[in-house]
Structure formats: C-alpha cells, structure tokens
Amino acid sequence: MTAHARKAKLLMELRAGGVGDRRVLAAIEKTPREKFVAPPFRDKAYDNVALPIGFHQTISQPQVVGLMTQALELTDRMKVLEVGTGSGYQTAVLSRLARRVYTIERHAELLREAEKRLAALRITNVTAKTGDGSLGWPEQAPFQRILVTAAAADIPPLLVGQLAVGGIMIVPIGADDPMQHLVRVRRTEQGSETEDLGPVKFVPLVGEPAAR
C-alpha cells in the first residue's frame, strides 16, 4: 500500500472514530506524520497507533491527536499554548488551525529536532522553548486555548490561570492512575467548568525541568 493510500485509510478510521471536524481532518491530511517518527517506525507512520520518539516519550495516536484538536474548537485567530512539544507533530497540526502556537518541551534534544522538522515544513507561526510546561508561559498569557499532551494528577491551576475568559484547555487527568481521562476545561468569569471526554493514556506530566 502506498503512503497516500495508508493516509487515506487512516483518515477514514479517524472519521469512524469520531473526528468529524473537516478543518481538523484537513490539517492532519496536510501534515506528513512520517517526518515526525524515527526511521525504524516510518512504515507505521499512518497506522493509528502511538510510536516511541525517545526519552520515554511517544508521538500520540492519530485518533487522539484528532479528538484533542477537535475538542479545542479552534479558529484561525487564536493563540494556543501546547504543553509537551514531543516530536512536533501535534504542534504542526495546531499551527494549521491557529494564529500562533507557543509550545514548551522539557527535553532540549526533542525540542531541537521538532524545530528542525517544523522549519523543514516551512511552518513559521510556532514559538518554542525548553522548560517546565506545568508552569505554562506566563509572559505570553492569556491564551485562548491550551493543549496539554501529558497526564497531570489534577487540573493544573497555573495553566487554568493562563486561560483567557471563555478559553478552553484540553488535559489528560490521572497521571498515576491506570485509567486516565481527557478533560475539557472552560474558563468562566466565575472560575472554570469541566467536561470528561473519555479515557486516554499518556505519559505523565513532569513538573521539574530535565537535566541538560
């Protein structure tokens, strides 16, 4: 099967799995996932599975990328914070849907590689830094949207504080639990509202910076 056919098959799987937003599907279609996976796994780039990227991290399952991105309810005028750049794949998808993406990665080597991939794809609306993503990026707050790609023990109050009123954060909750849940947090004038979007499995969100 050709790469084009594998991608078409994956998109059909995503639709069947609940990713119905055409803009999200188009962003995934335009993002070459094979550029974001290690060479030994490139033949699996369009399989609907998570794949290792080093440092005990993974590139997320495309189904999860699609559902999380869809849950953000993005428009092209929004400023987005991504906590956990990883390979840069989710970053690239977000960049096609938002005005600007700010992304934080605690592993400097992963971030360097991700930035190279984004540059090669001529993606220019991403600003990245190495750091503790659990602290957010207060200098650039508020954000209309925040996407957390690692599981927190509970909803991170510092990140909620960096959401604009009316903003949305998508975060996996239950870092140490066998069953994590994807949660949508909406910032309100009075505080925040939460909605359970279903079970997921992510690596834990680590609060302290990695050794350089």
Nearest CA to 79 among 105, 97, 99, 62? 99
* Catalytic, out of 60, 87, 95, 134: 60
Angle, CA 172 vertex, CA 131 and CA 99 arms, to 5°: 60
CA dist., res. 185 & res. 26, Å (int): 25
Told to judge if 192 belongs to the known catalytic residues of this protein, a careful annotator would answer no
Please name which of 165, 172, 168 lies closest in space to residue 191, comparing C-alpha atoms.
165
CA dihedral sign, ordered 7, 201, 193, 98: negative
**Six-digit token string for 161:** 């504080």
Residue 198: CB atoms within 10 A of its CB come to 10
Which one-letter DSSP state was computed for residue 63?
A: H
Cβ-contact 150, 202 below 8 angstroms: yes
Catalytic residue list: 60
